[in-house]
Amino acid sequence: MFERIEMPKIFLQDQELAIQRIKNKDINVCVIGIGTIGLPLATFLAKSGFNVMGLDINQERVDSINQGNVIYEYSDIITNLVKEKKLVATTNVEEALKESEIIFVCVPTPLNHDNDMDEKNLLNVGERINKFLKEGMLLIFESSVAIGTTLKISKYIEKMSDFKFGKNIGLAYCPERYNPTPNKKRSSDEQYSTFSSGVTFSLDKINRVVGGIDEKSATLTQCIYQQFISTSVTKLSSIESAEATKLVENIFRDVNIALVNEFAQILPKFNLDVFEIIDAAKTKPFGFLPHYPGAGVGGECIPVDTWYLINQAEKIGLNTEMMKIARKINDSMPEHMIEMLEVELKKANKDIQTAKISILGLCYKKNIPDIRQSPSLKIISILKKNNVDFVVCDPLYEHNSDKLDFPVSSIQNVFKDSDAVLLVTDHDIFSSLDMLQIKNDMRTPIIIDGRNFFNEHELKNLGFVYCAIGKPQ
């Protein structure tokens, strides 16, 4: 009787054979962390033909995925994948890694109390998977991280094992580029540039970059993403280059949003509408990329990534004035909304201490059920600190309202006896509000618009006092 010889796993195979196996989808993969970033990745990997195990610590999340009833952009795709067992979720590490050769890591990396990157989720992943890793596996990190983090976590894993990344196990980094509400582009083109329209930026149409600890890790990782990304997958010189790319992308946005937020506080003093000015500036066909002001910047990317690089730079003795100013300006926008509110209440002979405030929108971005780093939370904190009576409405987050420590109302009741409405999140559902009925329900018809969402002339014709960030009062 012949002894069965186990075939080497992907990273230790001949590179051409490994690439062919990837193209044939003759390989099992695991995605660790099947939340905001990991689930779309797992979905498109499975859709392209890979057998995917999703590993998560949240049993409720795992159950909802395995039942095919999780609500997100690609719900219509995931239902069939689950039925066909192309995507299976579990909380069991051994089960998830038993047949897997490629492991994606997509866990959250929030800020700690010192505005530095909290590595505990990544370290926890290392501890949990360490004893189930096998020679020849390939680990690919997608979590947003500070420069050097991927190698730091790999060293942590090496200390607990006999593995050496780049020798008997592969390592790469591909920063996530997930847009929770896919943007429409302006015109069709092959490169899906900033100025294109008509096709959505779904996960498979967003260019990616990859970096590996060695050439083989990078090449295999590039090949994997090319199986479900229909645009370009660019191979960079190192893992650190890929990590830095993610930071630069988001810091660029953070700084430019801060700039227009400052414009939004200056130009109205000259009786100018900042939105008209920005739209006029973007008629220039080169050298200008439009950004728009608002109630603040939220989520686990833009405000977080800026702090990653600020802290890293300061640790090596470099000053980061522009990035710190950007964070200060963007973090101040909720306070700016409160100041606008107080001015209008005073004009109506109302004091904020005795007023009732209705807040529309708790999520940090339109049309998604995610409140991480949301500007609304800072507004609520300010109101609570000053003992102001307020109520919040967010139809996209109502199902999670039991986790909050402040009142959440239905859209039907949020305006009753209110003295002012703060529009913080521009969910599409708010566009169908009956504004005449709302005016009748309110005690004082004041609206402070943090997203240039409402039609100013329509509201004023109905008898509202209307103020918006960036518009002359």
Place of tokens 């998977």: 129
Residue type, 445: P
Handedness of CA 229, 234, 238, 241 (dihedral sign): negative
Catalytic-labelled residue, pool 47, 86, 216, 246: 246
Strands (E), 286-443: 356-360, 389-393, 420-423
Burial label, 149 (beta-carbon count in 10 A; 0-12, 13-18, 19+): buried
- 90 pairs with which residues across the strands? 55
DSSP state of 233: E
What is the rounded CA–CA span in Å between residue 175 and residue 436? 46
- For residues 154 and 242, give the distance between their C-alpha atoms in angstroms, rounded to a whole number: 16
**Cα separation, 360 vs 453, whole angstroms:** 11
DSSP 461: H
Residue 16: Cβ-neighbour burial (10 angstroms; 0-12, 13-18, 19+): exposed
Contact 35, 108 (CB under 8 A): yes
- What long-range pairs does 268-271 form, CB within 8 A, spacing at least 24? 268/470, 268/471, 268/472, 268/473, 271/472
Q: Is 385 a catalytic residue?
A: no
301 is catalytic: yes
Catalytic residue among 30, 106, 174, 301: 301
User: Residues in the chain, how many?
Assistant: 473
Is 342:446 a contact under the CB 8 Å cutoff?
no
- 273 near 473, Cβ under 8 Å? no
Neighbour count for residue 267 (Cβ, 10 Å): 21
HSE at residue 469, side-chain half, CA atoms within 13 A, is 28
C-alpha span between 367 and 324 (Å, rounded): 29
Work out the number of other CB atoms within 10 angstroms of the CB of residue 268: 18
Residue 396 DSSP label: T
Task: Tell which residue, 203, 181, 466, has the closest CA to residue 347.
Answer: 466
Q: Annotated catalytic sites, by residue?
A: 246, 301
